[in-house]
Amino acid sequence: METSPVESAVVDEEIDEAARALEGRPAEDVLAWGARRFAPRITFATGFGPEGCVLVDLVARHGLAIDLFTLDTGLLFPETYALWRRLEERYGVVIRAVRPEHSVADQAAAHGDRLWERDPDRCCELRKVVPLRQALSGFAAWVTAIRREQTAARASARVVEPDGRFGLVKLNPLAAWTSAAVWDHLRAHDVPVNPLHARGYPSVGCWPCTTPAADGEDPRAGRWRGREKTECGLHARPAAVSLATLTLDRTSQRSP
Shortest CB 242 distance to ligand SF4, Å: 26
- 30 or 123: CB nearest ligand SF4: 123
> What distance in Å separates the CA atoms of residue 19 and residue 133, rounded to the nearest whole number?
24
179: Cβ–Cβ under 8 A, 6 or more apart, which residues?
A: 50, 147, 149, 219
- In sequence order, the β-bridge partners of residue 163 are 168
- 114 or 250: CB nearest ligand SF4: 114
CB contact at 8 A, 70 and 47: yes
State the pairing for strand pair 42-45/67-71. Answer: parallel
- Which residues would be at the binding site for ligand SF4 (CB under 6 A)? 73, 75, 116, 120, 123-124, 127-128, 205-206, 208-209, 232
Give the 3-state secondary structure of residue 171: strand
Q: From the candidates 53, 124, 206, 232, which is the catalytic residue?
A: 232
Shortest CB 74 distance to ligand SF4, Å: 9
232 labelled catalytic: yes
Q: Using CA of residue 171, residue 173, residue 177, residue 179, what is the dihedral sign?
A: negative
> What distance in Å separates the CA atoms of residue 4 and residue 95, rounded to the nearest whole number?
35
Question: Residue 112: CA atoms inside 13 Å, Cβ hemisphere, count?
Answer: 8
- 3 or 211: CB nearest ligand SF4: 211
- 128 or 165: CB nearest ligand SF4: 128
Shortest CB 232 distance to ligand SF4, Å: 6
Shortest CB 92 distance to ligand SF4, Å: 29
Residue in the shown chain whose Cβ atom is closest to ligand SF4: 206
Residues with active-site annotation: 232
